[in-house]
Amino acid sequence: MYSPDRTRSAAEVLVDQLVNNGVKHVSCVPGESYLGVLDAFYDRDIAVTVCRQEGGAAMMAEAVGKATGRPGICFVTRGPGATNATPGIHIAQQDSTPMILFVGQVDRQFREREAFQEIDCRAVFGSMTKWATEIDDAARLPEYLSRAFHAATSGRPGPVVLGLPSDMLKERVAVADALPAEPIEASPGTAEMDRLAALLRAAERPLLILGGSRWNEAARTAVHGFAKRWQIPVATSYRRLPLFDPLHECYAGDLGLGPNPKLIQRVRAADLVILCGGRLGEIASQGYSLLDVPVPRTKLVHAYPGPEELGRVYQPHLAILATPARFAASLAELAPPTAPAWRGEAEAAHADYLAWSEVPTEQPGTVNLGAVLVWLRENLPRDTILCNGAGNYAAWIHRFYRFRELATHIAPTSASMGYGVPAAVAMKRLYPGRTVLSVNGDGDFLMNGQEFATAVQYDLPLIAIVCDNRMYGTIRMHQEREFPGRVSGTELRNPDFAAYARAFGGFGVTVERTTDFPAAFRAAEASGQPAIIHLKIDPEAITPATTLAKIREKALAGG
């Protein structure tokens, strides 16, 4: 609040910049280093989610950034808090997510003595962020915050870390607020679009790959329209499935882990790849094998919102500096040929996708995760948000679930475990009226499972599914391939996850047969409480396509 002398505390100035930038939610673990900020939240219209560990708090902010396209905001204390928060920062970097982490820091006069819990924010976060610094001058808070919002959202979005010396936050200053930051929208020029049109006219097997962040409804709708008019097959990149409606007649599937081999063949056979919004990283490119590095033999058109990424790995035939929204809008202006050389390709690609995803595969054991995902896709509202972390269980999500709307899959492309629970907490807090699902491995779940307490604290009836196969299954799979039969460091002895839910004050149920899943899910919903569904999965069911025993046999037979 302003005093009669028109001053505010630095902490208030900071929080007012957040309010002006439309921030409605922050996640935090408190620290004595930034008490003034907590106090400023007290009478401002910002919902504070107090978490149990900074890893969860930072992932919540990252999830907010991912879902909304505006920076997710997280506050933590110095050394131990900031270092705990690093997974969220790393995810935001790899996933191109706007996010700002504020770190309560030691007093300015103690800095560089290795004071209590001191951390060098610039050095620690420098290689993981778009900008990492400390704010020494309270009067410059509006300038720093403005730059932080611009940096996090413009070009290729990413994380920003700002250290806040404790004594600085206590100063009173008379400064004006900055204007809200607007991300910079780069548009393609007519020259680039003319070249793209010429490349398309000459193409025989074009294919569109969608990825990255900075998408919005208009961009998605425009790409749906372009694909339909041009009858071009469209693939989504790793964990970017909601960028295109899976039931659109041109959808060809996703380029993730364990992808449809027919889709991979199709990408390899393409003579023109239009990569829109993404980077075609290691996972999507199948270990950089789909396009040659640095000069792809396939003609590559790369449309991307940040210049540093264009030409970084692949030298595109045509580089277009543009956000997905502006690029998609320009695509709408291209007139399709009457009889394209690739006629029938999109239809065939979509048929391949449906054949791959329609029916769950046979699995060992009494719970078939594919059948569970098919039940969920057929019974949940279209706008359900599904959050997950990392583990082989996710292969069933990618293959059998269908994300019908934008930002309905909140999961790290960096495949960071422990993301599914905090992300679901953040989503239920943001969208209380929507169904929010968290799907987790057993190893994955317990990395941040304690945030289930946060769901209970804020009465967030999310539903967390724990796929319990009593091991770090992904690593066991790799282990059986490389060291068959020599199980080391990958087994888990688990708690009763349904009892865990009840102990926290939530609803818990265990499912041992596929046919029991629907009733368990409905009971979880009906409880109105945060819920955990403990799914007992046979360890042999290691992927939708194979078993551990088969992998081991193959490895023992030499390959």
Ligand X SMILES: Cc1ncc(C[n+]2csc(CCOP(=O)(O)OP(=O)(O)O)c2C)c(N)n1
Is 35 an interacting residue with respect to ligand X (CB under 6 A)? no
Query: Residue 237 and residue 275: Cα distance in Å, rounded?
Result: 9
Rule CB under 6 A: is residue 390 a binding residue for ligand X? yes
Number of residues that bind ligand X (CB under 6 A): 19
Among 473, 506, 508, 544, binds ligand X (CB under 6 A): 473
Which runs of consecutive H residues, i.e. helices, occur in 21-101?
Answer: 35-42, 54-68, 79-84, 86-94
Residue 472 is a binding residue for ligand X (CB under 6 A)? yes
Residue closer to ligand X by CB (options 163, 443) is: 443
Q: Is 442 in the site for ligand X (CB under 6 A)?
A: yes
**Window of 152-160, 178-186, 415-423, 452-460 that interacts with ligand X by CB under 6 A:** 415-423
Stretch near ligand X under the rule CB under 6 A, chosen from 112-120, 150-158, 374-382, 466-474:
466-474
Residue from 48, 197, 456, 475 touching ligand X (CB under 6 A): that is 475
* Cα–Cα dist 382/396, whole Å: 18
In total, the chain counts a number of residues equal to: 559
Rounded-to-integer distance, Cα 136 and Cα 163, Å: 9
DSSP state of 362: P
**360 vs 441, beta carbon nearer ligand X:** 441
Q: Work out whether 356 is an interface residue with ligand X (CB under 6 A).
A: no
The piece of 15-23, 345-353, 411-419, 451-459 that touches ligand X (CB under 6 A) is 411-419
Nearer of residues 188 and 473 to ligand X, judged by Cβ? 473
Q: Which residues contact 349 (CB under 8 A, 6 or more apart)?
A: 233, 250, 251, 252, 253, 262, 263, 266
Considering only 422, 443, 461, 506, the residue that binds ligand X (CB under 6 A) is: 443
Name which position in 54, 192, 254, 444 contacts ligand X (CB under 6 A).
444
Residue bearing tokens 């629907």:
518
Does 547 contact ligand X by CB under 6 A? no
Query: Which of 282/333 has CB closer to ligand X?
Result: 282
Based on the shown chain and the rule CB under 6 A, indicate whether residue 469 belongs to the binding site for ligand X.
yes
Nearer to ligand X, 153 or 416 (CB): 416
Token pair in block for residue 82: 């900031």
Closest CA to 457 of 138, 27, 40: 27
User: How far apart are the C-alpha atoms of 256 and 259, rounded to whole Å?
Assistant: 5
By CB under 6 A, name the one of 102, 144, 393, 396 that touches ligand X.
Answer: 393
In terms of phi and psi (left: phi > 0; alpha: psi -120 to 50; beta: otherwise), the region of 286 is: left
Q: Does 471 bind ligand X (CB under 6 A)?
A: yes
Least distance (Å) between residue 176 CB and ligand X:
43
242 part of the interface to ligand X, by CB under 6 A: no
495 closest CA partner among 541, 449, 438, 457: 449
529 Ramachandran zone, left/alpha/beta (phi>0; psi -120 to 50): beta
370 lines the binding site for ligand X (CB under 6 A): no
Contact 285, 291 (CB under 8 A): yes
Q: Does 474 bind ligand X (CB under 6 A)?
A: yes
238 binds ligand X (CB under 6 A): no
Residue 416 contacts ligand X per CB under 6 A:
yes
In the bound complex, what is the minimum distance in angstroms from residue 134's beta carbon to ligand X? Answer: 27
CA distance 360 to 396: 9
Is-cis flag, bond preceding 461, omega within 30? no
- The answer to whether 497 contacts ligand X (rule: CB under 6 A) is no
DSSP single-letter state for residue 62 = H
Q: Could you give the angle at which helices 261-269 and 345-357 cross, rounded to 10 degrees? A: 160
Q: How far is the CB of 415 from ligand X (least distance, A)?
A: 5
The residue with its CB nearest to ligand X is 441
**Residue 423 binds to ligand X (criterion: CB under 6 A):** no
| Minimum gap (Å) between residue 300 Cβ and ligand X | 29
* 176 Cβ contact list (under 8 Å, min separation 6): 142
Asked whether position 413 contacts ligand X by CB under 6 A, the answer is no
Q: Which stretch binds ligand X (CB under 6 A): 194-202, 269-277, 352-360, 390-398?
A: 390-398
* 3-state per-residue secondary structure call for 210-263: ECCCCCCHHHHHHHHHHHHHHCCCEEECCCCHHHCCCCCCCEEEECCCCCCHHH
Q: How far is the CB of 53 from ligand X (least distance, A)?
A: 13
Q: Which stretch binds ligand X (CB under 6 A): 111-119, 258-266, 401-409, 439-447?
A: 439-447
Q: Identify the helix (H) or strand (E) that includes residue 396.
A: helix 394-400
Least Å distance between CB 447 and ligand X? 6
Q: Which of 284, 417, 424, 524: binder of ligand X (CB under 6 A)?
A: 417
Decide if residue 535 touches ligand X (CB under 6 A). no
Q: How far is the CB of 418 from ligand X (least distance, A)?
A: 6
| Residue 193 Ramachandran class (φ > 0 left, ψ -120 to 50 alpha, else beta) | alpha
Interior angle at CA 445, CA 501 and CA 378, nearest 5:
80
168 contributes a contact to ligand X by CB under 6 A:
no
CB of 535 to ligand X, least distance (A): 11
Task: State both tokens at 120.
Answer: 């060098």
Write down the least CB distance from residue 437 to ligand X, Å: 16
Between 233 and 443, CB nearer to ligand X: 443
Interface residues toward ligand X, by CB under 6 A: 390-393, 415-418, 441-444, 467, 469, 471-475
